[in-house]
C-alpha cells in the first residue's frame, strides 16, 4: 500500500498534490477529444524524449489497460500516421519550444486523411507539455529510484505497481483516496503481459558518469560572456544514454523506438541564429490574457485546472526557503520562475534580471538548468549537493516550480502558434 513515488514526493505539499492529481486525472481519464489509448501513447512519446523510463513504464501499462494495440509498443513505425505526425512538434516542444511556428500547426491541421482537429491538437499539446515537465520532476526528485519515506534512497530497479498516480482521483477527495492506493487491477487480459513486465524491469538502468562538477567545468569553458550572466551554460558531450560504461547496449534502446532524431536536444536560446524566433515577450502573449481562454475554449475545463495548478504552486508557503536566501518568498519564487522562462527565451519587461544572480546561488542555478533543459542528466549527487542546509520538502518545492514554469513555457509557445494559425 505504499504511495507511488511521484505522489509521495508531491505529498510534501498536499494542496498542490490535490490540484495536480485532478489535472492528471482529467487529462488521462475524463471525456476529451482524444481516445484513451492515444493519450497514453502520446505520454509515452513525450517521456521518451527525456529517456524517462519511469513515466514510459507507467503509461505502457495504462495504454494496455485502455485497450491499446500491443503492436504500437514496438515503436513509431507501427502506429497510425496521424499519431506519428505528432513526433515533430513533440521533439521541438521538449527541447526548443521557441522553434514552434504556425506552419507546424498548419501541417497537422491540413485537410487530409490523417489531419488533426483543433480540439484534438490542443489536447495533445497539453499532454506533451504536461509529460515533458513531469519528466523534469521525476528526474529532479529521483523518482526513478526506490525511495524510502524520507525521500531519495539507494538505487534499485523500478518496482511496477498496479496503481498509477493518474488514477488516484477516482473518488471525490484526492487526499483521502491516496490513503487507499493498495487497490489492485487485473491485467491478465493484456497480451504478453509477463514478458512485458520482465522487459520493463530490465530497462531500468542507472546512467553513470554524470555529475554537476563536469557541468560546471563546461559552464566555465563555454558560458563566459553570454548575455547578462543570467544563464548557466551546459554542454552536450555526455556519454550516450543508450550504452553502459563498457559500451554494451542496454535496455534503454527500448525507448529509442518511441522517438526520432534522438540527437536533437536543448540548445541555449542565447545562441540562436539571427533568423530564428525573437525573444518571447509576455506582455504580447500571456497565459492569463491569451493562453487560458484559447485552451479552455478548445478543450473544455482544462484551462481552469491548469490555471489552478499554476496558482497553487505560486501560493505554496516558502517562508523558510526565502528567509535563508534573505528575501521575501514572492521575490525568491519569481526569481526561479523567471530564470526558467529566460532559458526558453521568455522575457518579462517589468523584471530586473540582475536579481537572478543575486537570489540564486550558482549550484542552485546549475541544478535548475539541468532539471529544466536536460533532466535525464540529473543525478542524485546534484540533488544532494545543492542547498545542503535545506529540508527535502524545500527541494521538492523547487522541483514543483520547475515543473510548472516549464509546462507554462511550452504551452505559451504552442498556443501562440495555434493563435497565429487561427488569425
Catalytic residue among 38, 52, 141, 174: 52
Q: How far apart are CA 212 and CA 222, in angstroms?
A: 15
> How far, rounded to the nearest angstrom, does the alpha carbon of residue 271 sit from its chain's CA centroid?
23
| Chain position carrying cell 536536460 | 374
φ and ψ at residue 88, rounded to 5 degrees: -65, -45
CA distances from 419 to 27, 108, 129, 298 (A): 22, 14, 17, 12
Inter-residue contact 167 to 178 (CB < 8 Å): no
Inter-residue contact 413 to 341 (CB < 8 Å): no
HSE on the CB side for 73, CA within 13 Å?
Answer: 24
Task: Reply yes or no on whether 52 is catalytic.
Answer: yes
3-state SS track over 257-311: CCCCCCCCCCCCHHHCCCCCCCCEECCCCCHHHHHHHHHHHHCCCHHHHHHHHHH
- 330 contacts: CB under 8 Å, gap ≥ 6: none
Short-list 221, 233, 219, CA closest to 271? 233
- The residues that are catalytic are 52
Amino acid at each position: 500500500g505504499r504511495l507511488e513515488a511521484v505522489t509521495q514526493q508531491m505529498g510534501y505539499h498536499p494542496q498542490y498534490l490535490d490540484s495536480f492529481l485532478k489535472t492528471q486525472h482529467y487529462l488521462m481519464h475524463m471525456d476529451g477529444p482524444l481516445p484513451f489509448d492515444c493519450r497514453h501513447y502520446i505520454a509515452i512519446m513525450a517521456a521518451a524524449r527525456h529517456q524517462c523510463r519511469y513515466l514510459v513504464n507507467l503509461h505502457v501499462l495504462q495504454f494496455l489497460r485502455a485497450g491499446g494495440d500491443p503492436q504500437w509498443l514496438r515503436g513509431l513505425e507501427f502506429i497510425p500516421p496521424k499519431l506519428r505526425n505528432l513526433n515533430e512538434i513533440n521533439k521541438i516542444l521538449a527541447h526548443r519550444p521557441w522553434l514552434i511556428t504556425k506552419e507546424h500547426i498548419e501541417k497537422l491541421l491540413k485537410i487530409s486523411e490523417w489531419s488533426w482537429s483543433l480540439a484534438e491538437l490542443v489536447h495533445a499539446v497539453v499532454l506533451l507539455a504536461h509529460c515533458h515537465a513531469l519528466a523534469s520532476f521525476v528526474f529532479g526528485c529521483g523518482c526513478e529510484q526506490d525511495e524510502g519515506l524520507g525521500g531519495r534512497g539507494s538505487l534499485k530497479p523500478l518496482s511496477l505497481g498496479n496503481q498509477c498516480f493518474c488514477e488516484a482521483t477516482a473518488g471525490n477527495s484526492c487526499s483521502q483516496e491516496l490513503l487507499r492506493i493498495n487497490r489492485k487491477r487485473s491485467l491478465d487480459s493484456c497480451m504478453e503481459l509477463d514478458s512485458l513486465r520482465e522487459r520493463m524491469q530490465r530497462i531500468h538502468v542507472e546512467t553513470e558518469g554524470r555529475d554537476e562538477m563536469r557541468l560546471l567545468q563546461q559552464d566555465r569553458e563555454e558560458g563566459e560572456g553570454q548575455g547578462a550572466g543570467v544563464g548557466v551554460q551546459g554542454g552536450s558531450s555526455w556519454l550516450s544514454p543508450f550504452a553502459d560504461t563498457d559500451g554494451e547496449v542496454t535496455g534503454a534502446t527500448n525507448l529509442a523506438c518511441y522517438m526520432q532524431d534522438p540527437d536533437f536536444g536543448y540548445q541555449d536560446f542565447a545562441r540562436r541564429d539571427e533568423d530564428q524566433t525573437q525573444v518571447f515577450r509576455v506582455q504580447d502573449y500571456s497565459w492569463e490574457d491569451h493562453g487560458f481562454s484559447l485552451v479552455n475554449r478548445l478543450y473544455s475545463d482544462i484551462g481552469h485546472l491548469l490555471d489552478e495548478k499554476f496558482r497553487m504552486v505560486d501560493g505554496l508557503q516558502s517562508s523558510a526557503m526565502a528567509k535563508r536566501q534573505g528575501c521575501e518568498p514572492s521575490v525568491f519564487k519569481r526569481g526561479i520562475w523567471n530564470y526558467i522562462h529566460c532559458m526558453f527565451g521568455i522575457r518579462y519587461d517589468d523584471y530586473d534580471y540582475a536579481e537572478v544572480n543575486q537570489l540564486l546561488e550558482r549550484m542552485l542555478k546549475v541544478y535548475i538548468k539541468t532539471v529544466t533543459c536536460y533532466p535525464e542528466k540529473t543525478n542524485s549527487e546534484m540533488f544532494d549537493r545543492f542547498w545542503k542546509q535545506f529540508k527535502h520538502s524545500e527541494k521538492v518545492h523547487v522541483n514543483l516550480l520547475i515543473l510548472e514554469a516549464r509546462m507554462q513555457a511550452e504551452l505559451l509557445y504552442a498556443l501562440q502558434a495555434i493563435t497565429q494559425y487561427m488569425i
